[in-house]
Structure 1
Amino acid sequence: MRSMLIISRQSPWSGSGAREALDIALAGGAFELPISLLFLDDGVFQLSPGQAASCLEQKDLAANLQALPLFGIEAIHVCRHSLLERGLSEGELSIPASVLDDEALRALIATHDHVICL
């Protein structure tokens, strides 16, 4: 079975990209596809706890993030450089994720058959 890596690069409040990435992951997980998620650039803000999505008249992505393991999606990764650039730390993330340096990111991308970037 072909593996898929979904790279989520948009903040949770900058449009529909963040929600679409999670929807694709959950749909793939429902069909038991091997799915990995990578949060990169402003996408790391999706993993920041305590977001007030309702203030921006948007839906909170926290429930979708918490549902990932229920759909068999446990390969969740985040870019170390993106975290540092945005003043976030690994201990602050709302869900468990492996923090990867640039070399590990390249290796992760190379191991997947399909890569979707949103």
Structure 2
Amino acid sequence: MSKICIISTRPPYGSTAAKDALDTALVSASYDMDTSLLFLGDGIYQLIKGQQPEGLPQKNPGAMLQALEMYGIENVLLCREDMYDRGLQESDLTIPVQLLTRKEIGTWLTQQDRVFNF
């Protein structure tokens, strides 16, 4: 089975990149591919609880994030340093994640067959 890692680096609003990353992860998982989702940089903002994007032309990513488990996406990863740099804690996040250091992320990526960056 192919190992696929989707990297999401963009905030949830302002472009379609964040939604495109989530869509790609859900589609690849629906084809029984071993899919992981890695949030880096401003992509971490997609995971914050209680977002209220009313008045914006984009939806809150929370519902799609809740669907990850249903699709069998067990590896939701987050850069520990990026989270702390933004003043966030795990309790601020809408779903459970696995925290990795930048060094651990490098090792993780070498174990993947395909990596897609959004």
Give TM-score, length-normalised by structure 1.
0.96
The 5-angstrom pairing of residues 42-61 of structure 1 reads 42-61=42-61
2:96 paired with 1:115: no
Shift, 1:56, TM fit: 1.9
Q: State how far apart, in whole Å, the 2-side matches of 1:104 and 1:91 are.
A: 22
1:27 aligns to what? 27
Q: State how far apart, in whole Å, the 2-side matches of 1:114 and 1:29 are.
A: 13
Which structure 2 segments of 5+ residues have no match? none
The one-letter amino acid of 2:35's match is: I
1:105 aligns to what? 105
Which structure 1 segments of 5+ residues have no match? none
Q: State how far apart, in whole Å, the 1-side matches of 2:89 and 2:15 are.
A: 24
Deviations 1:59-84 (A, max 9, x none): 11111000001000010000011111
1:7 aligns to what? 7
The one-letter amino acid of 1:37's match is: L
SS at match of 1:94: coil
Give TM-score, length-normalised by structure 2.
0.96
RMSD: 0.9
The one-letter amino acid of 1:34's match is: D
Identity %: 38
* Count of aligned pairs between the two proteins: 118
Shift, 1:37, TM fit: 0.5
After superposing on structure 2, the runs of 4+ consecutive aligned residues of structure 1 that deviate more than 3 Å are none
Deviations 1:9-59 (A, max 9, x none): 000013100000000011111111100000000000001011112232311
2:18 aligns to what? 18
Structure whose residues are more often helix by fraction: 1
> Bigger shift: 103-112 or 54-63?
54-63
